[in-house]
């Protein structure tokens, strides 16, 4: 699937869930699923899509990262809300933030990306993003917020795959 089409499909689902949340009509299970999927969406943008797009549109990508940070904070507030009034008002704020973010992506970023990245590469990006999204959504919000990198690799591995143990015997041998 084309990366942009994948993101647009996810935008529609997210907006629908947030609309329902802003009316206080999301069950606890629906809220958790929506949160898991929203954070998984942000993960694939931040780890696959934005790094490639940054080569074309640095300013827009930088703003998008900032919006994601704000959205994560707002999402956490939604999930910690206790009263119906808090739930509705917090989901409304998150919905408005996401709508602004989606509008910028779909109206400004995506058309420029389609001009700067060929269809074949968008398909490859989409394939990677879909696979990562499925894994990230399954891991869920708690795992993703506590650190995607920690979750996606074993706890005793560093980014380059070398064991963290100070014991030299635990390190892979260089052959």
Domain borders along the chain are: 3-170
Q: Which of 47-61, 73-87, 149-163 has the lowest mean pLDDT?
A: 149-163
Position with higher pLDDT, 67 vs 170: 67
Average the pLDDT over 71-98 and give the result.
95
The stretch 37-65 carries a mean pLDDT of: 92
Confidence of residue 154 (pLDDT cuts 50, 70, 90): very low
> Concatenated DSSP letters for the chain?
--HHHHHHHHHHHHHHHHHHHHTT---HHHHHHHHHHHHHHHHHIIIIIHHHHHTT-HHHHHHHHHHHHHHHHHHHHHHH--SHHHHHHHHHHHHHHHHHHHHHIIIIIHHHHHHHS-HHHHHHHHHHHHHHHHHHHHH-HHHHHTTHHHHHS-TTB-TTS-B--S-GGGSPP--
Q: Mean per-residue pLDDT for 74-102?
A: 95
pLDDT in tens, 7-47: 999 999 999 999 999 999 999 899 999 999 999 999 999 99
Instruction: Give the pTM.
Output: 0.80
How high is the pLDDT of residue 144?
A: 72
Whether the per-residue pLDDT at 158 is higher than 50: the answer is no
């Amino acid at each position: 699937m084309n990366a942009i089409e994948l993101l647009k499909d996810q935008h529609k689902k997210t907006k629908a869930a947030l609309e329902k949340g802003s009316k206080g009509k999301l069950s606890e299970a629906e809220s958790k699923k929506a949160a898991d999927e929203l954070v998984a969406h942000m993960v694939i943008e931040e780890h696959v899509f934005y790094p490639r797009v940054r080569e074309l549109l640095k300013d827009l990508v930088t703003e998008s990262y900032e919006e994601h940070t704000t959205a994560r904070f707002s999402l956490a507030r939604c999930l910690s809300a206790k009263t119906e009034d808090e739930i509705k008002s917090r989901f409304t704020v998150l919905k408005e933030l996401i709508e602004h973010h989606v509008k910028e992506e779909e109206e400004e970023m995506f058309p420029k990306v389609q001009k700067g990245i060929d269809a074949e590469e968008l398909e490859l990006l989409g394939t990677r993003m879909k696979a990562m999204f499925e894994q990230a959504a399954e891991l869920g919000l708690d795992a993703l917020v506590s650190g995607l990198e920690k979750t996606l690799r074993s706890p005793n591995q560093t980014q380059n795959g070398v064991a963290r143990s100070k014991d030299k015997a635990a390190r892979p041998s260089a052959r």
